[in-house]
Amino acid sequence: MKIDIDKLSEKELIDLNHRIVERLKFLRSVRDHTEMMDFSIGEKVCFNPYGRGEQVGVLAKYNKKTVTIITENGERWNVSPSFLTKANDTKDNSNKKSNVVELRKIK
C-alpha cells in the first residue's frame, strides 16, 4: 500500500502521524513484553549500568516497560529487559554454603 503524502491535507497528515506513532508504540510494547518473558521472576540476571561495574541480581517484579532487579548488595533497579542477560552460574561454587540441612535423630 502506497500513500502519496503530497496529496494529503494538513489535517490528514496529522491524523496519519498520530496513527503511525500509536502503531510504533504498540510494536515497541509487544517487543518489550516478548523480551521480558525471556526472564522469570526469581531468575539471576546481570546488566551493565553506565559508569558502574556489572550488576548481578534477582528479577523481583515485572513492570509495564521494565523489570525490577534486586542486586546482591540490596539495591533496587528498574531495568529495560533489553539490557539484561542471564547470569552465568558456572563459576566455582565450592566455597558457597549449601542450603541443605541434614537432620539426625538423637538417641
Q: What is the pLDDT of residues 7-52, one digit of tens each?
A: 999 999 999 999 999 999 999 888 888 888 889 999 999 999 888 8
38 close to 81: Cβ distance less than 8 angstroms? yes
Query: Looking at the chain, how many residues does it have?
Result: 107
Claim: this prediction has a pTM higher than 0.85: no
Taking only Cα atoms into account, the Rg of the chain, rounded to an integer number of angstroms, comes to 23
- Tell me what pLDDT residue 93 has: 44
High-pLDDT (> 90) share of the chain, %: 46
d(CA 35, CA 83): 10
pLDDT tens digits, one per residue of 33-43: 888 888 999 99
Q: Where are the domains of the chain?
A: 5-86
Classify 5-86 by CATH class.
mainly beta
pLDDT score recorded for residue 77: 93
Q: Which pLDDT does position 22 carry in this prediction?
A: 97
Q: Which residue has the higher pLDDT, 104 or 63?
A: 63
Report d(CA 97, CA 30) in Å as an integer.
41
